[in-house]
Structure 1
């Protein structure tokens, strides 16, 4: 475990699920990530964006931020269109990088993003296919509810339909937002809980559009699902989101 130098995360989810924003917040950065191929050669980001409308198209590419090079990310191209080839490539990557004898190439956790901006289809066929068919072995999967703040509009709409005067009803809006989030989270847990390989944890991420957004809940959940103490220590020492988390694990030493 001492030989593992970086904490490696596979980030999954639909296109426009807010994945890059989450990674920026985790690494305290506003910059786009630097991209490297599997051999460590730096790739021109503009070339990548120009050749794929869906962003970082090669799952083997490593995404890193100068602000925190202890994290390495892989971005799985969204496979919501049902392309079998993309799904198979992702599955092969997970299998190969979950059990590779080259410890510095292993992925340690999978963050699966589901955006609340599309609340009418929170669990799609693509999600069900992944959690029913992709055995990630000892690599835990956490579902990240992203773009939670878009539920604000849904909350206002529902309250207006109920006859509320929205002006001055901020507390009621916040309460309704919380209610909607709990409803959708319960729905997602119910649907994915029936799958063959259900997630190990769930985190809702709010205010990710703000540079000061708090990622400590994500770090806490990730630490909790890791099944090796050495990986927990690696994550705690790498993350910069939560001093409290560092203290908590230091006390357990």
Structure 2
């Protein structure tokens, strides 16, 4: 057990000559143990030179203890952007080390990292501004995988900006709605400005506003994009009157613009061109139109402070939604904080890459670093260690899973047994890259074609139910086999969930859908290659290297290399064979049943 006595904030280099340091003493001292989380909520001043007014700065207790346990040093330094934070601790490093080695009565409780994130920030909170008819509801429905999203209530056209809409199909986001800045309704501009300013100063992250989408329909036949109220709103943002809240301009109905451009273009320009070349010509003409009628007016008032994203909810252009979500997540991370950016990724349902990114962010905070070098897993069974890893990964994907199938003992057993079940053959050719998405679609097609009928059960060729691999009952040890199994489990689970994302299309999960995802990954060529790569990667590292942060980054790169991009999702789903995944079935089925 360590005690936090005080902390100080040293100024940026440009202000060092002022010889000023902010200090704060913890009274009484704050107790901190291994496995705990610790962060400082710092409010900015001109002296600090920070771009945001407040930030949550996260510390790694394990790193703090390690640095303070050598010699007599009791200070821990953390550089954050242009400031340095110095934390002073008190403790007995010798007794602490001895306790870790000899104590058999106490173990650190394993708590999912997502529990703490969800406690601080249980939902992504967004304000969507736009006139009726610009496509706000469709935008929200597709971006967050829900139906009939609207914050309007009571009478049509009347919106209370403080009303919190939470969808029963996705409770990880809160929607606030504003009808925009109609001519002659100057009061609404003040309502929006007051709402943003009021939310920004709220002390708890969960109550703060995390992002604003300012929506416009792309004008196809002339007309003015920006009304006076919008111009004033953009000017307020540029002048800093709306704080650091990320505001993104969303230009909707891009597909409608493409149709209009094609219809009005001189068809003689199409002569001799291929179909792809014609599409590119239409796209370029549409981009020129957007630059002229949308971006130029926006930049006049917003300058470069407000990014813009062109979107369409049409099936052929849904990748544009991924760009909107990616831009939003990046700005939330930069201006609001890491926990809010994780919730942005959790809430969205258009880009599986962001789910993987958030899973990595969550894992690297604590438990992924414990795979080979840290204390939290000691004296716990492998099953308990896998349990906390599993929970964090599943939570980040945010499937519609009201029956908690993904956290059931049966699904955990399937994933645990897969670690040993997969055959690992000769090392795969490192120069041959297999496309994960295409490989999985091929496996799904083979499984579906082999079914005896549309309602035939999916038989998973892995032991399920209560039969668990014996090694999960062993106590965790810092050894190569344990590290290898944990790495396989993390990547196998992530790729099964990515396959399930491809199959489910934001529908409520059934055990049948989950089993098809498991079977497809298990029987694909990709699964063996994944295990081969992990084994080869692990063999090349010494124990010291396995505990090193650089090696963790290499593991992350390995995981990211199997990501299916948002652009690929629509095409892959169009290639999937028809199969009923809405009906349910038991975890354990017989091919004759």
> Please, which of 351, 361, 367 is the counterpart of residue 242 of structure 1?
351
- Matches of 2:282 and 2:184 in 1, distance apart? 31
SS of aligned partner of 1:195: helix
> Please, which of 114, 121, 124 is the counterpart of residue 7 of structure 1?
124
SS of aligned partner of 1:15: coil
Instruction: Specify whether residues 197 and 96 from structure 1 end up closer, same or farther in structure 2 by C-alpha distance, changes over 3 A only.
Output: farther
CA drift of 1:251 comes to 4.7
- Equivalent positions of 1:91-110 (< 5 A) are 91-110=193-212
Higher relative contact order (CA 8 A, sep 6+): 1
Contact preservation (8 Å) 1:152, 1:173 = no
> Please, which of 133, 144, 148 is the counterpart of residue 32 of structure 1?
148
> Please, which of 259, 267, 292 is the counterpart of residue 153 of structure 1?
259
Moved more, 226-235 or 187-196: 187-196
- Matches of 1:91 and 1:197 in 2, distance apart? 19
Contact preservation (8 Å) 2:123, 2:206 = yes
SS of aligned partner of 2:295: helix
Structure 1: give runs of 5+ residues left out of the alignment.
36-42
Instruction: Specify whether residues 196 and 150 from structure 1 end up closer, same or farther in structure 2 by C-alpha distance, changes over 3 A only.
Output: closer
Contact preservation (8 Å) 2:181, 2:230 = no
SS of aligned partner of 1:107: coil
> Please, which of 166, 169, 174 is the counterpart of residue 279 of structure 2?
174
Residues 106-125 of structure 1 deviation map (CA, whole Å, 9 limit, x = unaligned): 11000111111456223333
Q: Which residue of 1 aligns with 2:517?
A: none
> Please, which of 273, 291, 294 is the counterpart of residue 186 of structure 1?
291
Instruction: Specify whether residues 182 and 211 from structure 1 end up closer, same or farther in structure 2 by C-alpha distance, changes over 3 A only.
Output: closer
Q: Which residue of 2 aligns with 1:40?
A: none
CA drift of 1:212 comes to 9.4
Instruction: Specify whether residues 63 and 150 from structure 1 end up closer, same or farther in structure 2 by C-alpha distance, changes over 3 A only.
Output: same
The answer to whether residue 336 in structure 2 is matched with residue 231 in structure 1 is no
Instruction: Specify whether residues 97 and 118 from structure 1 end up closer, same or farther in structure 2 by C-alpha distance, changes over 3 A only.
Output: farther
- Matches of 1:165 and 1:241 in 2, distance apart? 34
Contact preservation (8 Å) 1:112, 1:142 = yes
- Equivalent positions of 1:139-150 (< 5 A) are 139-150=245-256
Q: Which residue of 1 aligns with 2:309?
A: 203
- Matches of 2:185 and 2:304 in 1, distance apart? 22
Residues 50-98 of structure 1 deviation map (CA, whole Å, 9 limit, x = unaligned): x23x2x5111111222221101111111222231111111111111112
SS of aligned partner of 1:75: strand
- Matches of 1:212 and 1:68 in 2, distance apart? 23
CA drift of 1:8 comes to 0.3
SS of aligned partner of 2:265: helix
SS of aligned partner of 2:170: coil
CA drift of 1:176 comes to 4.2
Q: Which residue of 1 aligns with 2:164?
A: 62
Q: TM-score, normalised by structure 1?
A: 0.79
Instruction: Specify whether residues 198 and 57 from structure 1 end up closer, same or farther in structure 2 by C-alpha distance, changes over 3 A only.
Output: farther
- Matches of 1:180 and 1:100 in 2, distance apart? 45
- Matches of 2:230 and 2:285 in 1, distance apart? 21
- Matches of 2:268 and 2:136 in 1, distance apart? 36
Instruction: Specify whether residues 171 and 151 from structure 1 end up closer, same or farther in structure 2 by C-alpha distance, changes over 3 A only.
Output: farther
Contact preservation (8 Å) 1:192, 1:198 = no
Instruction: Specify whether residues 163 and 34 from structure 1 end up closer, same or farther in structure 2 by C-alpha distance, changes over 3 A only.
Output: closer
Q: TM-score, normalised by structure 2?
A: 0.36
Instruction: Specify whether residues 115 and 223 from structure 1 end up closer, same or farther in structure 2 by C-alpha distance, changes over 3 A only.
Output: same
Structure 2: give runs of 5+ residues left out of the alignment.
1-55, 57-116, 365-593
| Count of residues paired in the alignment | 235
